[in-house]
Amino acid sequence: MRPRRGILFVLSAPSGAGKTTLAREAVNKIPALELSISLTTRAPRKGEVDGVDYYFVSEAEFKQRLARGELAEHANVFGAWYGTLRLPLERAIAEGRDMLLDIDVQGARQISALYGPDVVRIFVIPPTFADLEIRLRQRATEDEVRIQERLARARAEYQAYPEYDYLIINSERTEAVKKLWAVAVAERLKVSRLSRDFAPWN
């Protein structure tokens, strides 16, 4: 018997908030937290590895898997498709394992609608909008048009933070990871997540 159901920690942030790095560090530092690997039709960036950062798939494959009902959520971001596989999530919930999903606001809404009480939503922002712009430019993987696109989208995404359960202002990564850790620890202790027949004293 599992003492509790698994939790889906959904991490959303405007592009450039340092979320991907934060997500990677969180799964390294927080015990028993697995990173959900998304499907995407976008091209790999330098250094990205198929099956580690994303499953890089063609648009045809993405559409096919979507039609077969394999995706728990999907969204089009900057002209590319992104989606989360349903099976690993449902297995994790049933087996009492926790997963971290690094997905956008549209995806977070779909995951919430599907898995309600098993979802914890966390929004990450840099301290100021200017910080976001600096981080985006430092990354230098996009041209100016793309940067402007991401900045405009970031402003729009920012408006969604009241829909989330937690807000983390990412001024210092170690601090942000600690905050994420605190959220995970507290959420894991919630009585409402325990199996009905959980009886620690028996």
Q: How far is the CB of 26 from ligand 5GP (least distance, A)?
A: 14
φ, ψ at 119 (rounded to 5°): -110, 135
Nearer to ligand 5GP, 156 or 186 (CB): 156
Rounding to the nearest 10 degrees, give the CA dihedral for residues 125, 78, 52, 163. Answer: 40
Q: How far is the CB of 97 from ligand 5GP (least distance, A)?
A: 18
- 102 lines the binding site for ligand 5GP (CB under 6 A): yes
- 112 lines the binding site for ligand 5GP (CB under 6 A): no
Residue in 8, 10, 22, 75 binding ligand 5GP, rule: CB under 6 A? 75
Residue in 6, 27, 38, 166 binding ligand 5GP, rule: CB under 6 A? 38
Q: What distance in Å separates the CA atoms of residue 28 and residue 61, rounded to the nearest whole number? A: 31
- 83 lines the binding site for ligand 5GP (CB under 6 A): yes
- 160 lines the binding site for ligand 5GP (CB under 6 A): no
Q: 166-169 and 39-40: which strand pairing?
A: unpaired
In this structure, how many other beta carbons lie within 10 angstroms of the beta carbon of residue 117?
11
Per DSSP, the residues of 91-121 read: HHHHHT-EEEEE--HHHHHHHHHHHGGGEEE
Q: What distance in Å separates the CA atoms of residue 85 and residue 134, rounded to the nearest whole number? A: 33
- 26 lines the binding site for ligand 5GP (CB under 6 A): no
Q: How far is the CB of 90 from ligand 5GP (least distance, A)?
A: 15
Nearer to ligand 5GP, 81 or 183 (CB): 81
Which residue of this chain has its Cβ atom nearest to ligand 5GP in the complex?
Answer: 107
Q: What distance in Å separates the CA atoms of residue 175 and residue 192, rounded to the nearest whole number? A: 28
Q: Tokens 């942000």 correspond to what residue?
A: 176
Q: Which residues bind ligand 5GP (CB under 6 A)?
A: 15, 38, 42, 73, 75, 77, 82-84, 102-104, 106-107
